[in-house]
Amino acid sequence: MNWLQKTIAPLLGIETKSAPVDRVEPLSLINEEGWPFVRNWSGENTDAASVLAISTAWACVNLIAGTIGTLPLMVYRTQADGSRELVRDHRLYRVLHDSPNADQTSVDFLEFISANLELQGNGIARKDKNARGEIIGLTPVRADIVSVQRQRNGDLRYRWSENGTYFDLTQNDVLHIRGFGGGPEGGLSTLTYGRHTFGLAQAQDRAAGGTYANGMRPSVVLAFKEFLSDQQYKAVESRLQDKYLGAVNSGRPFIAEGGMDIKTLSLSPADAQMLESRGFSVEDVCRFFGVPPFMIGHTQKSTSWGTGLEQQTLGFQKFTLRRRLKRIEMAMQKQLLTPQDRTQGITIEFSLEGLLRGDSKARAEFYQRMTAMGAMTINEVRQLENLAPIEGGDVPRMQMQNVPITEAGKEDSDDPAQG
């Protein structure tokens, strides 16, 4: 447990006792399905499976992990003059850009790592090496089953058991991407520190489901002038259940007799309060993940169109995605590159232009500005669009404008062809 965890934990009423080696999470218990979970005020079990069952949490994690997973992860070499080139023949290019292991594509791998970062605060993968010690693959590991400990010599050791195999590896054999508040032993777990918010959302969903479970939400009151006998009471209740129980019977007419008075009920204050609470719960869960609510379909307090949403989308890219991408890039550069790679100027970076692929207008404007200022050539643009290069397309071009009035037309007059 790092210093930030020790500082925040007492404020949230979390025990800070150290965990033995065979425990997965110091703050966790194990539920019947074998998932680690943490206690919360609502009494719900807050584990990865139950939290992802909350539609808001699923949408947030799916949005962040899916966006990161679909961004191309590139390997570049920085030249002495500061220019960069894509290094397709580097051993890590195939691993990071195409397929990190025999079972997954790069999208699958990055989504898995990102989902673990969002929920557990850590993304962990085992380094697969050849006989020369070179990394030839990465196998992801569920972060919640890994125990990280500091050894006496200062090194970190990673221990976990998976599919009947026990692993005990050093930090040189593991890729460890730490989340927010990450100390050497790991980042802060969103499941742990958001357990009260997630538990409340689960409790609200459970209460709403229980209200409609039998299809008998009371919408009317049957008022009798006299007290009913036990036999009469059971007869009325039995008739209601036999004829009106279930959503398929909703709206069937009811025949009143024996001095019965029927009164309809409007939405009760308790029901209205529950609906408002569920709406607030959506915003509260989004706040934990840093996702604007409209991006997961919650537009209760915002319009579906307009520049306001555009600015929020840009803010999501700048303040939510960027720091996550930087965290992954720097961890990979530190833990996957060799000293020789660093000497040669090898770097690992996401290609953010991938975010423009779904927006043809923004992509065209970007290309136009980059070529107009000479920052990109026509063939570089064509390469990004998967088009073949053309002759003369490797020469940077720049528009001529804002020429002094005394210089205007001189090129034409000095041209011998104009005679």
For 77-102, the pLDDT digits (tens) are 988 877 788 899 999 999 999 999 99
Distances (CA, A) of 89 to 71, 98, 283, 343, 383: 20, 13, 46, 17, 18
Please give the pLDDT value at position 305: 43
Q: Are 143 and 123 in contact (CB under 8 A)?
A: yes
**Of 186-190, 272-276, 279-283, 353-357, the least confident:** 272-276
Please give the pLDDT value at position 341: 94
Question: Encoding tokens for residue 325?
Answer: 């991408």
CA separation for the pair 71, 107 (Å, rounded)? 8
3-state SS class at 128? strand
Q: What is the CA radius of gyration of the chain?
A: 30
Please give the pLDDT value at position 410: 64
Residue 20's CB is within 10 A of a number of other CB atoms, namely: 8
Please give the pLDDT value at position 89: 92
pLDDT-derived band at 312, boundaries 50, 70, 90: low
Residue 41, amino acid:
W
Please give the pLDDT value at position 109: 97
Residues 249-266, mean pLDDT to the nearest whole number: 62
Each residue of 313-328: pLDDT tens digit?
677 788 888 989 999 9
Q: pTM for the complete prediction?
A: 0.68
Say yes or no to pLDDT of 193 above 90: no
Q: Are 261 and 255 in contact (CB under 8 A)?
A: no
Of 171 and 233, more confident: 171
Say yes or no to pLDDT of 302 above 90: no
Say yes or no to pLDDT of 358 above 60: no
Task: Map tokens 């929020």 to a residue.
Answer: 312
Each residue of 329-347: pLDDT tens digit?
999 999 999 999 999 999 9
| Residues 6 or more apart in contact with residue 324 via CB below 8 angstroms | 64, 68, 114, 117
CA nearest neighbour of 42 among 230, 277, 276, 200: 200
pLDDT-derived band at 24, boundaries 50, 70, 90: very low
